[in-house]
Structure 1
């Protein structure tokens, strides 16, 4: 297997690979990593369906790739009605998926709420994808994969199952983002356990530091603070990737990496990251299987929908 790293691009990952016959869903195809992830898969033959909150914005963003035939459906992850509507539309087609890439998200937002009253970052980054992926999971083919884009920012905070909406604690945008990114990893851990019997794997990943629209609420001071906290070093600086480099790990996880190596794991730079209690690697609390089950139960309670084990 080829050795990839931090500077690997999507085209490096997919060199010589034909994805004809693969059907792929990518959330968040109106900017940044979502566009590149969808483009790379479609350019190598996959049938790609993207989702976006703003269809007009997505159409403009994908205009230069019109020849690839990427279809876009409306899905606002901050509205469960929109999420369920999108899932119903896809289920109504009675077509299977090979890969679902949960890429969309928000970051470091001012305090606010989704349409359903959830704290914006937890509601969008975790609960929206929780409902969408679970509703579509029965349509994943054996050997399929779910790839969830998390972040090294999970190091900032574990999930708070007693106070997910910051009703008892002061709101901090980076802590809220960290909670949502930890939730992404825990979701992958439990989802992988539930789907493994069907030959399907789920994994989470850190794409790297990329200057995309996701950073619109992140000031230079916040960015520096994030880098320092992630490295445990006040003088640390963010290492910035290009968009094709940032999307490479998603593409690697979706189409190239051995399923048995990545299932229920956390990936960085097209590699499986080691679990560690310090600032390097992935935090141990994000891999606690009992914590993952507890988050699943709390998430079902919040969205008022149950998803039985496969």
Structure 2
């Protein structure tokens, strides 16, 4: 069953009647919010979940609910991963490869949002370096572990509409930095990475997609003041009103994680492969300003995706 699901569907709705016993799934960012809920519902349906997090003590405490609800052979294993440090990313990937166990699904969930200008351990602008480059290296280093029929789900955002990637100045050395401009670049990169990974791997039966979880109140928004949040909601409502869409409404965490689970487990692979999904459906391509629904054309552009891949390899000094 692939629906009918929508904006208010929860993870439990999406996986009702689905058994994941025997499936092995990697989820990054399992120390809070969407990552914990994603791991919970997957383990509750029998999956073996490998949860990656920067702070393992925090993740262990946060995922008590995952272990408590694991059923039908479901389980959770935690591994260390700091996406803002490529030495940590490579160590995590090397450990997974050494273990030699394949994955049926990888959900690249972890990320940062709208933080002040700063840089990763490797000198990359923090949002692009963490949200995109960290996952780019991790996923490509473990690509051999993707089982036939498996999927990659990248968590993107409607925030991709803030900005296309800037491959001439990814670290804002010559461009004025804005928190949301940088966030937009990183989220567009998440979509483009899925597009190119899908193109490279679909002949081998491995597909990739990107998803927008919706607006959820989690730790991701810790850098946003109430005033900034309210201004953004008002901006969204203006765009939604102009497009005939309903007013903005916060999603619960189970509603926010539903699209990741739907795209990774329930939806048809050919329907979501190389696409961008929201509210448990494949999004339409929509141009124009504003943080409304749909995906900007530049985020699905195949040549843009290839160029980002090449630039990413150059930046991390590693070819895949």
TM-score by length of 2: 0.93
1:198 lines up with 2:204 in the alignment: yes
The answer to whether the 8 Å contact 1:107/1:217 transfers is yes
CA spacing shift, 1:228–1:242, aligned 2, 3 Å: same
From 109, 113, 132, the counterpart of 1:107:
113
Runs of 5+ consecutive residues of structure 1 not aligned to the other structure: none
Give the length in aligned residue pairs: 307
1:148 lines up with 2:148 in the alignment: no
Q: What SS is found at the alignment partner of 2:194?
A: helix
Question: What residue is the counterpart of 2:310 in the other structure?
Answer: 297
Matched residues in 2 for 1:168 and 1:212: separation? 32
CA spacing shift, 1:228–1:168, aligned 2, 3 Å: farther
Structure 1 residues 62-71 or 88-97, which shifts more? 62-71
Question: What residue is the counterpart of 1:276 in the other structure?
Answer: 286
Matched residues in 2 for 1:188 and 1:131: separation? 13
Matched residues in 2 for 1:287 and 1:234: separation? 22
Within-5 A mapping of 1:180-259: 180-230=186-236, 233=239, 238-259=248-269
Q: What SS is found at the alignment partner of 2:306?
A: helix
Matched residues in 2 for 1:159 and 1:254: separation? 25
Matched residues in 2 for 1:64 and 1:15: separation? 19
Matched residues in 1 for 2:240 and 2:50: separation? 42
Q: What SS is found at the alignment partner of 2:63?
A: helix
From 148, 171, 174, the counterpart of 1:168:
174
Q: What SS is found at the alignment partner of 2:277?
A: strand
Within-5 A mapping of 1:74-153: 74-153=80-159
Q: What SS is found at the alignment partner of 1:71?
A: strand
Matched residues in 2 for 1:90 and 1:230: separation? 41
The answer to whether the 8 Å contact 1:50/1:72 transfers is yes
Within-5 A mapping of 1:58-73: 58-67=59-68, 68=70, 69-73=75-79
Matched residues in 2 for 1:226 and 1:213: separation? 17
Matched residues in 1 for 2:278 and 2:305: separation? 20
Alpha-carbon distance, 1:70 to partner: 1.0
Which whole-Å deviations, capped at 9, do the CAs of 1:5-46 have from their partners, x for residues lacking one?
000000000001100010000000000000000110000000
CA spacing shift, 1:244–1:21, aligned 2, 3 Å: same
Matched residues in 2 for 1:100 and 1:225: separation? 34
Question: What residue is the counterpart of 1:37 in the other structure?
Answer: 38
Question: What residue is the counterpart of 1:264 in the other structure?
Answer: 274
Which whole-Å deviations, capped at 9, do the CAs of 1:62-89 have from their partners, x for residues lacking one?
1233343311100000000000000011
From 275, 287, 301, the counterpart of 2:300:
287
Alpha-carbon distance, 1:228 to partner: 4.6
CA spacing shift, 1:43–1:76, aligned 2, 3 Å: same
Matched residues in 1 for 2:66 and 2:299: separation? 37
Runs of 5+ consecutive residues of structure 2 not aligned to the other structure: none
Computed over aligned residues only, the root mean square deviation of the Cα atoms, in angstroms, reads 1.5
Matched residues in 2 for 1:228 and 1:284: separation? 24
